[in-house]
Amino acid sequence: MWMDQSQLDFQKVTYIDEQGKALKEEMPVEEAELVSMYEWMVRARVFDQRAVKLQRQGRIGTYAPLQGQEAAQIGSAFAMRENDWVYPSYREIGVSMVRGVPMSQFLLYAMGHLKGLAQEQANVFPVQIIIGAQFLHAVGGAWASQYKGEESVSVAYIGDGGTSEGDFHEALNFAGVYKLPIIFFVQNNQWAISVPVSKQTASRTIAQKALAYGITGVRVDGNDAVAVYTVMKEAIAKAQAGEPVLIEAETFRQGPHTTADDPTKYRMADDEKTWTAKDPLVRLKTYLTEQRIWDEEKDRALYEQADAEVSEAFQAASSAPASELKDVFEHVYETKTAQLSEQQAQVEEASRQ
């Protein structure tokens, strides 16, 4: 009669263990795609580390690092189709890069440039810094896709802390009622700034919250790119068939919440050491090396190439003309309203005085 959490048993999906060993005889990803995933994970790591340095040097503004979450981001992005949509928070740089957003655009955004939020070349919505708001936007997008009969799925990303927001619960409830083509992807990186996941929820897992809203839930090893890719592929098929999915990818934010944060004030060194040993790049590289698909020479060349790409992106962003106040009015509606045109004219007139 009484429902209890002990009745729930969520197994965590894993294909490659923490030592880089395959747990299944057949890998569901081709060798070439595995290598490509690893290459993108390295690009994301190199960009991330450089961005932190650039912020410390005062060359860009506050930045939210993703180090440690590369497998969750790259693995899920690789599973998406060309017409699927991404609704990111402020940390999904790896996802967005794979989906077609250039590195230079993230740097423009971090520099306060208006064009840093313009996502005209990819099915990726602008960075969302209001915690959880992207979930409601994604529900609206998925509902529109369903109404128009489109073959597309909306994928919304959030952190474990965001699951405490009302927007999270409203979005899941709406998606469940209307059977929307949507995937809610939670990167459970253990910490919402200084608050541990144990203070965010009394649930044994985040994935189990799906059951309360009549949707499907799954828990995956977020440091295993193959597992994330496989689960995401299955989730897309379910969502397209009108079965919304909540994915909990268990991972770890190795760095600070943002460059304005100091994790040494609230995290134990032993916890960081434990999770660093599960590093997603090391895991996939070990597997590829043991399969004789990869070697140290290729790895050095990859890091050098990624470093050059980031340098080129920074040069492009630094060379872009600075935004002006009058430009703000160009990025509100596709067709400017009369009121916006009037306000823009007032700004331009004031600038000439």
Residues labelled as active-site residues: 253, 257, 266
Record the tokens describing residue 241, joined without a space: 């068939």
List the beta bridge partners of residue 344.
none
Helix (H) or strand (E) holding 71: helix 70-79
Instruction: Quote the CA–CA distance of 225 and 70 in Å, as a whole number.
Output: 8
102 contacts 83 by C-beta, under 8 angstroms: no
Distance CA 342, CA 138 (A): 32
85-87 and 12-13 strand pairing: unpaired
What CA–CA distance (Å, rounded) separates 226 from 231? 9
Question: How is residue 243 written in tokens?
Answer: 């079965």
Instruction: With CA atoms as reference, report the closest residue to 217 among 10, 7, 28.
Output: 10
CB atoms within 10 A of CB 344: 17
d(CA 239, CA 215): 10
Contact 38, 284 (CB under 8 A): yes
Q: Which of 126, 59, 55 is nearest to 90 (CA)?
A: 126
* Nearest residue to 125 via CA among 157, 78, 168, 162: 157
Contacts of 199 (CB under 8 A, 6+ apart): none
First to last CA, the chain: 76
And the tokens for 208? 């189990």
Distance between CA atoms of 17 and 278, rounded to whole angstroms?
9
Comparing CA positions, the residue from 93, 111, 112 lying closest to residue 103 is: 93
Is residue 156 within 8 A of residue 171, CB to CB? The reply is yes
